[in-house]
Amino acid sequence: MTSEIFTQLSNSLIDGDPEATYALTKQALDAGIEPMTIIREGLMPGMNAVGDKFSCGEYFLPDLIIAADGMRSAMELLEPELRLRRQTVESPGTVVLGTVAGDIHEIGKSLVGTMLSANGFKVYDLGVNVPTNSFIEKIRETDANVLGLSALLTTTMTVQREIIRELTEAGIRSQVKVMVGGAPVTRSWAEEIGADGYAEDALGAVQLARKLSGAG
């Protein structure tokens, strides 16, 4: 039953049926499946398959948009459940988070934000297509100790590097640890641009933010 529902969930994204995605997510939660397992085993494979079909020209932009609608409707159900599973009481740190300028991919960044909040971090999520100076202003305003930069496009990964340079120019590089992520981002890219860490997924982002905050 469990693997069947994951296949159905994945197919509902591939078939562009957000109502089915919502209903199946609810069914999986009602069956007692952990929200993170639903994301990892059911939803991510579906989104990746949609991305692959887009890459090879089988799917077009409207297909991406409708798949994102399905994923968002599932997240409406899953986010409160993830928050309920909050694991710590004392805040390990403050994170300013956003998707870099020129990039409007939201879902993965928001999932990272939800998981950080669920693990006690104070999170300022600036949204998508965030101008560099907005990151800098928010770090100054909140005294954040971690900056999380998401980028989903090879063309916007380079903005992560620009932001790190701007932090140095603004004289605040030493106050904040920078973690980077997003589908095209790699550990070696993070090293190349002078980031303090790279996380592959939302759970990894929590572990990394804890480490960068000296909490784990």
Site string for ligand B1M, 25-54 (x = CB under 6 A): ----------------------xx-xx--x
Residue 114 binds ligand B1M, judged by CB under 6 A? no
Stretch that binds ligand B1M, among 26-34, 78-86, 133-141, 148-156 (CB under 6 A): 148-156
What is the sign of the dihedral through the CA atoms of 48, 185, 96 and 121? positive
Cα–Cα–Cα angle for 203, 207, 209, nearest 5°? Answer: 110
Q: How far apart are CA 48 and CA 13, in angstroms?
A: 10
> 97 is written with which tokens?
């988070």
Q: How far is the CB of 163 from ligand B1M (least distance, A)?
A: 11
CB nearer to ligand B1M: give 1 or 178.
178
- What is the Cα gyration radius of the chain? 17
Site string for ligand B1M, 90-109 (x = CB under 6 A): ------------xxxxxxxx
Site string for ligand B1M, 152-191 (x = CB under 6 A): xxx------------------------xxxxxx-------
Q: How far is the CB of 7 from ligand B1M (least distance, A)?
A: 18
CB nearer to ligand B1M: give 89 or 122.
122
The residue number whose beta carbon is nearest to ligand B1M equals: 108
Question: Which of 202, 206, 154, 214 is closest to 40 using CA atoms?
Answer: 202
Residue 149 binds ligand B1M, judged by CB under 6 A? yes
Helix axes 154-169, 132-142, angle to 10 degrees: 50
Residue 65 binds ligand B1M, judged by CB under 6 A? yes
Q: How many angstroms from the chain centroid is the CA of residue 44? A: 12
Rounded to 10 degrees, what is the CA torsion of 103, 150, 111, 52? Answer: 60
